[in-house]
Structure 1
Amino acid sequence: MPWETIRKDTPPSVPPNLDDYEKARAAFSWAGARTKLSGLPGGRGLNIGYEAVDRHAESDHGSAVALRCIGRDDSVTTVTYGQLARSSAQFANVLCALGLGRGDRVVTLLGRCPELYTVVLGTLKNTSVLCPLFSAFGPDPVEQRLRISNARALVTTAALYRKKVADRRALLSELEYVLIIGEGADELPGTVSYEALMAGAADTFTIPPTSPADMALLHFTSGTTGTPKRSY
């Protein structure tokens, strides 16, 4: 596809959301920020997955592009808000079917691909806890974080699983499910195909009541000078 050059001295075609930082900072309040959120239907609280996708899909933005992913071969995949709402609902149903719910840790070991966003948002919709891992980590850092996080599920690819997890799977007693995106699950004992689970899942999901105080994300420090520390 033809590339478009974006020049810094060209006025934006769409006004920026933040055009005066100092003015916005002076006027900011948490109460004001709360008014910009829709909240779950029926007053069931706040959920990041709903705020990021579903409320837009339910409006007249359902056909608007939410993600535009450019592959290494320059191929372009677009995902609309409506599509992302449905796929993330499917993944939330996948987690429910596996018995994962509120507070259970779901770890991703992926590059930036469309499925990553489906998993992230579906995990948040399910009120489970998302723990993203850097795909360039070696086996030791991956094992440490899977163990410390008490991960029950891991979503990754066959290549990353073989290189970084397979040899240490026996050491991860709490890791019950490994979902493989793409081909390879049939060749890897103890794993299941992400696509197969998604194909059997409904694309609608009722998000449970969610409190702003509920844990949603689990990140780790680099661990450069010692054992990586958790950050909620």
Structure 2
Amino acid sequence: MRDYQTAAREFDYQRTLEETLAGSLEAINACIECCDRHVGAQRVALYWEGVDGRRASWTFEQLQEASARFANLLYSRGVRPGDCVSGLLPRTPELLVTILGTWRLGAIYQPLFTAFGPKAIEHRVRLAGSRLVVTDAGNRPKLDEVEQAPPVLCVGAPAGQADFWSELEGQSSRFEPVLRTGEDAFLLMFTSGTTGLPKPLEVPLKAIAAFVGYMRHAVDLRPEDAFWNLADPGWAYGLYYAVTGPLAMGHATTFYEGPFSVESTCRIIRQYGISNLAGSPTAYRLLLAAKEEVEAQLKGRLRAVSSAGEPLTPEVIRWFAEGLGVTIHDHYGQTELGMVLCNHHALAHPVRLGAAGYAVPGHRVVVVDEQLRELPPGQPGILAVDRPRSPLFWFRGYRDMETSSFAGDYYLSGDTVELNEDGSISFVGRADDVITTSGYRVGPFDVESALIEHPAVIEAAVIGKPDPERTELVKAFVVLHGHANPGPQLVEELQQYVRKRLSAHAYPREIEFVAELPKTPSGKIQRFLLRNQEVAKASAAH
């Protein structure tokens, strides 16, 4: 295993590009990078399993031909390089053909998560200026409620409507990829909407080098691995690291069409021999909730596990090590950045329990105050990326929107963190989420982590509730296991449990038991909705 400090010190941007990309940044195409360059010897690019139990594998050769047919279809419909094509599809081979065919034409792919309703779809396709939406029969009716919807191509379309495979069969299987530059966009993403309306941002082709860097250094994706990223490609982590990253390395990826469940996750890991797994803390917490069943099926089967989306709790980290015999590492990123701060599976460095880790080589990540002064260890501040000294940094702002994220040489993430003495960085919370109570600053994640350690608790979300005496008081919303009794006795027990583990000022003075927590479709807890709810209650009381 290579030493982290050596890897960071010796990082060479030009060499990274040469090792990562088939062409130069003056002549690049994402379909070449993620498909054509890996054609040969019938290498598998995709293992797929449907909700009905059907299975298939696709080689890079098969994807090359299908993507060429799709690119020809797009061209025949007037789509040109730089135009947007939207995909409202589950994790199916058609999704991958749509993505690669869009890229082959030099167009921009824009993902639509299948759980979106018509309004969420309308917001995205309108701002994207989408020229076509590719969907399936199950999602097709949503588009009837989208005002001024783009033309639609449907997988399994009813009689009389354009069907995906029927349309492709009439197209040529040859289409020369359109070369673009590294600054040209190949993805149009929308932020997950944790703090407001989702904002559009273009991902340039040069970001592929950063995505591969994460796969190599943090995920430690090896040729002998069977890889599965649980994240849906309707979101950044899935599209960047279940599609673009592994395919750019010539590595097969895995799609399971069905929803997450403990049973299906265990079955697919066993069936496909998955050794390298990536996913979200929400999925891992659900596995932990069924730990006896999961341990019996998966112990010793996984080599590396990566987590992104929100910080892991210490209990989950310990259980993976002790119960499953595998290291799970926390990774931090944003739609705007990709993953930039990680505990790296492929690089040797100290691992502090609960810390997000160290900057991925090619990035310089620091902690700054509001005056943009870089802070020493132990002082909470804003997580920032030093743009001039981060050659793999690719974000250039939101499409047709102003942003306050750029200040001087820094990109400001909006997340509150602390630098540790060993050089790692620990996540405290979104700037809006940090609680000020009786003069103390409390990170909600610390309180949530302590609550989840209690055997009665499945999930928790912690906010600051307005309070005239303390500014805010700490309030927890808690989801319980079925065996727990949600009464005053358990409230007192949980309060004392947290108080002993954290401090007298950080325990939740109020606890409300709920059936579920509000989350974005990608699984991130929306604390601001809970906070707004409490503000509204306080206003109504006065």
Into which bin does the TM-score normalised by the smaller protein fall? 0.7 to 0.9
Give the number of aligned pairs.
Answer: 200
The match for 2:164 among 194, 199, 207 is 194
Q: Distance in 2 between matches of 1:149 and 1:224?
A: 20
The match for 1:70 among 49, 56, 68 is 49
- Show structure 2 runs of 5+ residues with no match: 203-542
Higher mean alpha-carbon deviation, 107-116 vs 135-144, is at 135-144
Within 5 Å, which residues of 2 pair with 1:18-37? 19-20=1-2, 22=4, 23-36=6-19, 37=21
Kindly tell me: are residues 204 and 222 of structure 1, through their superposed partners in 2, closer, same or farther at Cα, counting changes over 3 Å? same
Kindly tell me: are residues 44 and 29 of structure 1, through their superposed partners in 2, closer, same or farther at Cα, counting changes over 3 Å? closer
8 Å CA contact 2:26–2:182 kept in 1: the answer is: no
The match for 2:156 among 154, 162, 182 is 182
Counterpart residue number, 1:217? 187
Q: CA deviation at 1:223?
A: 3.0
State the identity as a percent.
34
8 Å CA contact 2:157–2:164 kept in 1: the answer is: no
Counterpart residue number, 1:166? 144
Higher mean alpha-carbon deviation, 221-230 vs 127-136, is at 221-230
Structure of larger gyration radius: 2
8 Å CA contact 1:156–1:178 kept in 2: the answer is: yes
Counterpart residue number, 2:82? 103
Q: Distance in 1 between matches of 2:164 and 2:69?
A: 11
Q: TM-score scaled to structure 1, two decimals?
A: 0.80
State the Cα deviation string for residues 9-55 of structure 1 (Å, max 9, x = none). xxxxxxxxxx5472443332220122122228xx9711111011101
Residue type of the alignment partner of 2:169? A
Counterpart residue number, 2:197? 227
- Show structure 1 runs of 5+ residues with no match: 1-18
Counterpart residue number, 1:121? 100
Q: Distance in 2 between matches of 1:81 and 1:101?
A: 24
CA RMSD of aligned residues (A): 2.0
Residue type of the alignment partner of 2:98? V
Higher helix share: 1
State the Cα deviation string for residues 179-201 of structure 1 (Å, max 9, x = none). 00113262xxxx52111210111
Q: Distance in 1 between matches of 2:176 and 2:96?
A: 19
Counterpart residue number, 2:379? none
SS at match of 1:223: coil
Higher mean alpha-carbon deviation, 19-28 vs 126-135, is at 19-28
Q: Distance in 1 between matches of 2:179 and 2:136?
A: 32
8 Å CA contact 1:146–1:172 kept in 2: the answer is: no
Q: TM-score scaled to structure 2, two decimals?
A: 0.35
The match for 2:22 among 35, 38, 42 is 38
State the Cα deviation string for residues 145-194 of structure 1 (Å, max 9, x = none). 111111110000122021x21122xx226x2x2000113262xxxx5211
State the Cα deviation string for residues 96-155 of structure 1 (Å, max 9, x = none). 111101111100001100010111011011011100111111221111111111111000
Counterpart residue number, 1:208? 178
Counterpart residue number, 2:295? none
SS at match of 1:204: coil
Q: Distance in 1 between matches of 2:170 and 2:185?
A: 28
8 Å CA contact 1:158–1:185 kept in 2: the answer is: no
SS at match of 1:82: helix
